[in-house]
A and B are shown apart, each in its own frame.
Chain A
Amino acid sequence: MSLSNLIQNWDSFRKRRPYEDQYKDAPYKWAMVIDLDSCIGCNACTVACYAENNLAVVGKERFGKGQAMHWIRIERYWGEGEALETEFPERGAQYLPMLCQQCEAAPCEPVCPVGATHHSPDGLNTQVYNRCVGSRYCSANCPYKVRYFNWWNYPERAWPNPLELQLNPDVTVRSKGVMEKCTFCMQRLRAGQDKAKTAGRLLADGEVLTACAQACPTSAITFGNLADKNSKVARMWKNQQVDLAKNAQDKSEEGVRGYRILEDLNTYPSIVYLERLRNFAA
């Protein structure tokens, strides 16, 4: 059966992703836009993610060892170069919410020995916890370092009774030795897609949001379906002249501020960031 499958679908098996219009006929391709000018660095998204996705609180000692488990982290930079140019950060801090970029050509995917991480039909970079053997190759190969490994057996001690009652039953509690990462709140997407499918329709724009996008007080995070050309996210991508299947964008318009981080590594991320703005006259 597998051989006939191989022969029948040879063309599609040899197709290299991403390619132009690959999601043209697909119902969903999840993507995000994060407006860095709106992001105020308030950490609401971070805590929301802890609440939604059963992230373990690791405590001071382990945080200090670099074993924190935040799927989305707010990075705060003081400058773009290698030194702060002025004595004071005159233009404020530079906040960057960094989460899994759900790359179309994710460097983490091909290196996993067991295929615990792979690309889902709706364009997500998945992580199947129970398949993971913990080689940590994906994390080694992730240029954004947004994969988090369970160095300890958190189910044992991160949720002393009754804290465990808060755990989201739709999300697995990861035990020691597996890699975990942002899933774009896959449990919400799945529930929404199931509902929509039963109703015989596609998800409407904004019907399902990730926890971070839902919480964000400034609405800096826009989440949606890129395959739907009319969704807000798709229009924003187009408006910002970012094309999913390109690793160098042609920016013909002035003042377009969308970009993808470390695009030159050919990762084709699904998150577009909008440049931070500053009134330099002030």
Chain B
Amino acid sequence: MSHNVHGHPQMDVQVERKFVPKVKDLGPDVNWAQINKDVLRSLEKPRPVFWIIFFSALALFSFGVYCEVYQYQNGMGVADLNNPQVWGLYIATFIFWIGMGHSGTLLSALLHIIHADWRKPIYRYSEAMTTFTLLTAALFVMVHMGRLWEFYYVVAYPNERWTWPNFTSPLVWDATAIGTYLTSSLLFLYMGMIPDLAICRDNAKGARRALYKFLSLGWQGTDRQWGNFKVAYMTMACFLMPLAVSVHSIVSTDFAVSQNPGWHVTSFPPYFVLGALYSGCSGIITLFIVLRYVFRFEAYMTQPILNKLIKMTFAIAMVWTYLDLIEYATTWYGSDEVAKADLLYRATGDYALQFWGMIFCAMVMPFTLLIRYVRHNYTVLLIISLILNVGMWLERFQIITPTFAKSHYPWTWTAGWWPSWVQWGIVAGSFGWFTMLFMLYCKIFPSVSMYEVKEMVHEQNLEGKAMAHANPESEQAPVGLLEGGQA
């Protein structure tokens, strides 16, 4: 059991870099002290615009809370749900939020396992995003429940009534999977943040210092701590990757194990996982641009990293598109007439606008990412990343509503069912809640991993040194470095 599993054999690097002067993810000679300074600056007292946005989000959230209280007191009827349309926006948005979380894990765990170092400056906030989207999604499970006050019936614990939850229910799998995922990603986020919390501790005063002191658990960066830390972090990453895949597969079983047309599809698990990664990646792009702008993280969130992120998003979008299309194809060429009718209904019925909206936003829009201008214009990119997510939300709406509207039983079909303001209010409130949490997070915790950026710089320096040693000319050619960014 080696303690330096992450180590780079330097000789390989030498050979590889000899003839291919590669665009570096970070600029040369980024000062370590500067990293601390830059990142810690983001924790300083916020500007007024922060509070404006924060309180808007709070207001939105409060409205959501109001809607939920209203619903709690009067019954689910205020949401205009009805007999076939039993789930509505709650479950649709629940899947949306769960999905959003997956890319944080992708960036932090999968890319960590495969030593894709460009993840380092951006994984921290994406992982935070994962945690908060999961918290938001968990809210929807509660909001959706008809008898919220009896939620503890779903929890498996020996009790006075001698009852257990029903382990065959996908909802119980969901609860377990989400619980596991939330626990694990929270621990993963926290674990990865401990060295940074120590930095914060060393630089903070007063109450904040007490907080960081408590949270950093006395981290000192000793060799043993680092050694164990690296192993543990890698081990957790190895757990998190299959976990993330399983979570959204399990969410997909909520639908795939049921009899309903449009849901009873074998390709649902991968389709859901890819959809989750897709919406998560575009969410990360959105936050990338926002954080980069707000905290002036140009030195760390560089164009080369963004380029990689966009490429990954595009690739995922394409796989997702493929899976979506084969889902339609299998339905279309299959013999399930009801499912076929349901598919037709999606494309031509009451929710055709949403369907084609989804096709446009989530299948067509990704192609704009191929345009260099789009990749380099942050405003446009921000808008596109938001559009992609709108598309993904519409996709979730598409899964739920038309299936209920036109299921097996013709008598209970619904025409033009539409959610009430309460549902919209709660959905809007969830965005407020997420924004609030994320903004608070950004002001309390470093949203860029300082120690890992340092590692990155360190390794770049090592590589540079090695290259300079082997091939002195290449030193002068950092082509495209920091384009559109730092300078």
Interface residues of A (CB under 8 A from B): 62, 65-68, 73, 75, 77, 96, 98, 107, 110-115, 118, 131-137, 139-141, 143-145, 147-153, 176-179, 262, 265
Contacts and interface: CB of A to CB of B under 8 A. Distances in A.
B260 A140 contact: yes
A143 B151 CA distance: 26
Contact of A66 (B76, B164, B169, B414): B414
B357 interface: no
A141 B259 contact: yes
Given A66-B85, A143-B409, A150-B75, A135 B166 contact: no
Contact of B83 (A68, A96, A110, A118): A68
8 contacts: A111-B170, A112-B166, A112-B169, A132-B146, A133-B147, A134-B147, A149-B81, A176-B74
Contacts of A115: 163-166, 169
A143 B408 contact: yes
Interface residues of B, number: 44
Given A113-B154, A115-B165, A132-B147, A151 B76 contact: yes
Chain A CB count within 10 A is highest, among B85, B147, B168, for: B147
Nearest to A129: B147
A145 B75 contact: no
B412 to A, nearest CB: 4
B68 to A, nearest CB: 13
Given A65-B82, A133-B153, A141 B75 contact: no
A177 B169 CA distance: 19
Given A132-B147, A141-B259, A153 B74 contact: yes
B347 to A, nearest CB: 17
A133 B87 contact: no
A151 B172 contact: no
B82 A113 contact: no
B74 A134 contact: no
A134 B260 contact: no
Contacts of A133: 145-147, 150-151, 153-154
B83 A139 contact: yes
Nearest to A262: B408
A133 B145 CA distance: 6
B77 interface: yes
A222 B91 CA distance: 40
B258 interface: yes
A65 B422 CA distance: 15
Nearest to B83: A66
Chain A CB count within 10 A is highest, among B154, B408, B417, for: B408
Nearest to B147: A177
A177 B148 CA distance: 8
A148 B148 CA distance: 18
B82 to A, nearest CB: 3
B146 A67 contact: no
Nearest to B257: A111
Contact of B76 (A111, A112, A134, A262): A134
Contacts of B86: 136, 139-140, 149
A113 B175 CA distance: 9
Chain B CB count within 10 A is highest, among A75, A98, A113, A265, for: A113
A135 B144 contact: yes
Interface in B139-165: 144-148, 150-151, 153-154, 163-165
Contacts, number: 142
A141 B260 contact: yes
A177 B260 contact: no
Nearest to B410: A77
Contacts of B172: 113
A154 to B, nearest CB: 9
A114 B153 contact: yes
Nearest to B144: A135
A150 B359 CA distance: 36
B407 A151 contact: no
Given A66-B85, A113-B169, A114-B154, A145 B76 contact: no
B302 to A, nearest CB: 46
Contact of A145 (B151, B171, B175, B409): B409
B404 interface: yes
Nearest to B88: A136
A152 B82 CA distance: 11
A239 to B, nearest CB: 28
Interface string B243-259: 00000000000100111
Top 10 nearest A-B pairs by Cβ distance?
Answer: A134-B146, A66-B82, A151-B77, A177-B146, A115-B166, A176-B75, A113-B171, A177-B147, A136-B86, A145-B412
B459 interface: no
B80 interface: yes
Contacts of A144: 408-409
Interface in B438-452: none
B409 A152 contact: no
B51 to A, nearest CB: 38
A62 B74 CA distance: 13
Contacts of B333: none
B411 interface: yes
Given A135-B144, A135-B145, A265-B408, A62 B87 contact: no
Given A67-B82, A262-B408, 8 more contacts: A67-B77, A75-B411, A113-B171, A135-B145, A139-B86, A145-B409, A151-B75, A152-B75
Contact of A151 (B82, B84, B175, B409): B82
A144 B411 CA distance: 9
Contacts of A139: 83-84, 86
B165 A114 contact: yes
A107 B259 contact: yes
Interface in B311-351: none
